[in-house]
Each structure stands twice: as C-alpha cells, then as structure tokens.
Structure 1
C-alpha cells in the first residue's frame, strides 16, 4: 500500500509524528511488538544534494512509517560504497549508474534497488532551479564561445574514466566539437572554481553545489554535459544492493522504495523548503544553498537514459562492451513499467 501525507512543512512533519505517538494509546507491550517489526537498514550515501531524500526521510519519520530504521552511512567518496555493500557493512549503497554498470560487467553481483535523482523533470525537461545542475564552464573573458572552441584546451573532471568524463566527451562530440582534441585532468569538484579562476585549466565540468559556486563567481556556461545527452533527464545515479540481499529481503526493498516515493514527491513539490535541510548534513554556504538547482528526485529507472549512458560508456572505453539492459536494471521499477 502506498502511504500518502499532506506536507505542511518539515516542522509540521515532526509535530504530526509526535502527536500520533502521543495519542495512539498503545501500551508498552504494543510498542515492543511494533519495535520488533522495524528493520534497521544501513544506507551508504555521499553527503551531497543527491542524498537529500535519505536525510529528510530519516529525520522526519517517513522511513519509520514504512517499518524501517534507516541509518545513513556517509562516505567520503563513491569508491568506498561499492566494497562496503559487497562486504556487508552497508545494506544499500548509492552510486552513479556507470559505476554500477562496471560492477555488472565484472560480475560482482550487485543489483539496482531504486533510481537516484534524474538531472531534471522528465515530463517538463526543465531544471529545478535557475540554471542546469551540471555545466561545462569557462571564464567570462576566455574567448571560448562554445564546445567547438575547446580544441587543444584543458578541462577538469572529478574523475578520469568515470561518468563525468563520458558526459563531457559526449557533450563536446554531440554539439560540434572533437573530444579527442582536448586534454582532461582529474580535479576535485571543490577545487574547480579556483583552478579556472587561476588559469590552471581552460574549462571545468561541475555539478551542484559547485555549479552554483562557479556561476556565482562570474564564469560562463557553454554546455550542460548531463543534459546534452539525447535523453536530457539523465538517470545518473542509483541505489544498489547485492543480489543476495535483495533476494533475501524483498519486503525491505519494497518498503524502502515506498518511503523514497513519498519523500521524493515532497521534495519535488517543495524544493525551496527542501533546500534548507541541506545545512543538516552538508557544509554548503547558506547563500549558495538557496540558489542550487536540485535534481528531480525519482525512484523509477529511466530505461532510455540508462541505455544511452551504457552505450556512451562503451563508446568512450569505460565499459569493455555494451551490456544487456536487463542485466543493468534487474527488477528495479521503471518509468515505462508504470505507463
């Protein structure tokens, strides 16, 4: 059964939960019985904008409504989440979709539990904010007008051989440039604006909150890598578990998805209020936080986007070859599956 709630603000959520608890009339035995039905779930996340649903749902009783006690397990980088899930110290992890594809290609036994955020609303194809969530940016006085001017230039990405490199190369090749003519360098997103301002790179590929940091510094967008895919509402990230865990705990997976459905709907309908919750687990500056473009939070997989990213991953050598779509998606809910 799908649970629904009318959201009156996060403070209202907390008050509502307390009121229900205070008026329930349950005695100690009832409380103990209910507690025994709650499943503890360790969810590995990165302390960034994409993790917003996990923190809001955990802090405001949404997971509890679905019989879950979710413990967010912050990781410093995505590379740590895959081994944590494989070794069992984390039940569900968060990853970009291309990392999951490489795990499938290597036969590591992972499966998608639910989609992570999409880059924009698939119905409107509009960003949830004043600018795109990911951009390829240059200095305002660089003389670089579009991607065709990037030949021989140096561009930073957060990781070589990853999804950002694939997105940048595709954005350049699909809009009139030549990605073979550029030099890519690896640079943490937090250092991108300084490197661009200091002239150490000619362009930077960034995503939120660093998109806002770069644009607020006066730099200029010349492309939006993840929106320049043919399927602009890119399904960039996913929640995943081991196949063994998913097979042994199907009801837990369903409850996790149902809770995500609920909190995702709230965030998508109340982006300004949701932005304010970023200060509970990130160190994003308050002025930047108010201006960041949120992704579109979704539980269902965009099959067309996943297939396109897989094909581009193979084209640019991150994957050894194209993979069957069913091997990537598994039993995860899809957008087309609900039509």
Structure 2
C-alpha cells in the first residue's frame, strides 16, 4: 500500500515524538549511569568500556581483534545486540555506553532532540564498487533501472528512510507511482524471492549476500542517489564523557583510525575478521568488507549531505550545525580542520 504525504508526515512526527519521549525516559531513569559515564577516568590505566554489538561491518571489530584498542590502552567488552537501532543512540545519550556507532542521519536526529552525543570518527563510506545500499530485483522482473520501478512494489525498511525519500525525489516519483511496503532488512530476501515484492532497497551486508543468488540482479545503488562518500559521521561519543575524558577519546579515535587503515590495506582479512565477529560463515567474508574511510576522518561534505537531507524531509526537531554533529579534533591525522 502506497503511503500518502499526510501519512508520511504523521510517521515523521511519530518518530520525532518517540525519540524525544525515549530520551526523557532514559535520561530520567539512568541518572546515576549518566553521572558515572561523565566521571573522569585514570588516563594512566587501561580503560575498559562496554560497546553494543551491531549487525553490520564496523572498524570496532577490527580494532578489538587486531589489537589496536590494546595498543592505545583500551579494552572493549561487546555487550550483545540491542532491540532497536535507536536504542544505541539513547543508551549512549544516557551514559550506558561511552562510545557506539550509527549513521550520520540518526545522530543528527538525536542531536536535534537534545541528545548529548557527537560524532568523532568515520567508520563507513560508499563507492560505486562497494555501495552501502543496493536496489535489487529478480532477473525476470522486467525492471532494468530505477526509473522502471514505477508501477511496481518495492520493500523499504521504514516509511521515513532517507535514502528512499531522496531516491523518490531524484527520480521524480509522485504518490502512487511506486507501491511501497515496509519490511525489515532481515526479511527482504524472502519477500523478493517469493515474489511478495518486485524490488528491495537493501543495505550491506544483506544486499551483497542476496546478490550472490543467481536469480537476483542490481538496478541501482546509493551512489546513483547521493554520489560516492569518503566517510560520514558514524563513531560517536557521549559529550559529557568527552568533556571529562578527551585523552581517552583521542585514544579511541586513534584505534579506529588504525583499524580503518589496516582494513584498507588488508581487505580480504578484514572481511574475515568481521565475519568472525558477526558469527557468519567465513566463506562470506568478502561481503563484510565495506569502504573504510582513510584515517577514520569524517568528510565535511558527507556530513553536510546527511544533515541537509534529514532537514529536507522534516526529521530534525531543530536545525543541526556541522559543529554540533561532528569533530575531527581528536583524530591524530587531523590537519587543523573541524
């Protein structure tokens, strides 16, 4: 069923209201945790911290496995998956975790709602060879490019998914041109292969895994919509912790930079490391090797892109500046930029 603009606006307002409410509840219920995370820690000792697992490729797994956290006096404890990706942001905001990773747009939405968070490193990029997101269909669908989606049913993860909203705008799709159905990433492969939908918009590694099926083909990628990206804001920190412990943050960013650069130089082994961390078949390691940004430096144009897109579609409760969203100040490779 296609979603009207009124329904989409209502969905956006619901997202904003839910984020604001969750923040109030989490911060009110975790006051002692927030205070604890904001305390200054002994910089002369190994700093041990908890980190929520994520089901995608990430340099934290490499930093842990290849000893880069240990090199910089850090020790990470992976705590398992949270129920919802938004829980990652709220748990960092509340002080349950000092660090975590999430997409720039989600961080911008959180900051606009008062979340005390800031991006400090880039963990992902996207290129034509290794896109973060692919549009896939069956080879016999008759759909050969993105424009051919008119009159067909596509699976999207949420009605406010920015990549899809931007794709619709670029392709000049109007209400009713495409039948949109909301399906989780984990279930999109089954929906496509069983002909419940005609196409899917799917992120890596789900997209790359589905593309190995001989009956599936690609009709477009995120690069077709927003271009290539060197590295968007992704690794982020609780700002109270940042203020109290800038040296620990520097060590964390240095470890992430080392992990990214090692992964760039050793892509095959990087995929195997991440496959192991995510408990998937090592034979699929190549699917878990995205674009790792050089030195983990956040690219200003990529940050600006996602803030602009988030605002364009009404997801921000208030405008968010780039200074609020991210900094490269704690990166050892920063040459005096933001």
Q: TM-score range by the shorter chain?
A: 0.7 to 0.9
The 3 A distance-change label for structure 1 pair 236 and 159 is farther
What does 1:52-67 correspond to in 2, within 5 Å? 53-67=59-73
Q: Identify if the C-alpha distance between structure 1 residues 229 and 252 changes in structure 2 by more than 3 Å, giving closer, same or farther.
A: farther
**1:178 aligned to 155, 173, 176, which one?**
173
Q: State yes or no: 1:69 paired with 2:69.
A: no
**1:246 corresponds to 2:242:** yes
Asked if structure 1 preserves the Cα contact closer than 8 Å seen for 2:205 and 2:288, the reply is: yes
Deviates more, 1:214-223 or 1:246-255: 214-223
Secondary structure at 1:290's aligned position in 2? helix
**Equivalent-residue separation in structure 1 for 2:309 and 2:234 (angstroms):** 18
CA distance in 1, matches of 2:143, 2:313: 24
- Higher mean alpha-carbon deviation, 68-77 vs 82-91, is at 68-77
TM-aligned CA distance change 1:336 to 1:300, over 3 Å? same
Q: How far, CA to CA, are the matches of 1:179 and 1:309 in structure 2?
A: 22
Question: Within 1, Cα distance between the matches of 2:284 and 2:291?
Answer: 15
Relative to structure 1, the CA distance from residue 293 to residue 322 in structure 2 (aligned partners, 3 Å threshold; closer, same or farther) is same
Report SS of the residue matched to 1:156. strand
Scaled by the length of structure 1, the TM-score of the pair is 0.77
Q: Deviations over 1:26-52 (max 9, x none)?
A: xxxxxxxx9962111222330321x2x
Q: Give the aligned length.
A: 291
Question: Is 1:210 the equivalent of 2:212?
Answer: no
1:194 deviation in Å? 0.9
Tell me the SS of whatever aligns to 1:205.
strand
SS in 2 for 1:278: helix
Q: Could you tell me how far apart the structure 2 residues matched to 1:234 and 1:65 are?
A: 26
1:127 maps to what in 2? 129
How much does 1:338 deviate? 5.8
Alpha-carbon distance in structure 2 between the residues aligned to 1:113 and 1:99: 15
Structure 2's unaligned 5+ residue stretches are 1-41
Give the corresponding residue for 2:268: 272
Spell out the pairing of 1:1-339 with structure 2 (5 A cutoff).
37-49=45-57, 51=58, 53-76=59-82, 77-120=84-127, 126-128=128-130, 132-161=131-160, 165-174=161-170, 176-178=171-173, 180=175, 181-217=177-213, 218-225=215-222, 227-233=223-229, 235-236=231-232, 238-298=234-294, 299-320=296-317, 322-330=319-327, 332=329, 337=336
The 3-state SS of whatever aligns with 2:140 is coil
Is this contact kept in 2: 1:58–1:71, CA < 8 A? Answer: no
Q: By how many angstroms is 1:229 displaced?
A: 4.1
Report deviation, 1:203: 1.2
Closer, same or farther: CA 61–301 of 1 in aligned 2, 3 Å: same
Q: Cα RMSD (Å) of the superposition?
A: 2.7
Q: 1:245 to 1:46 in 2, by over 3 A?
A: same
How far apart are the structure 1 equivalents of 2:242 and 2:43?
22
Q: Which moved more, 1:310-319 or 1:133-142?
A: 310-319
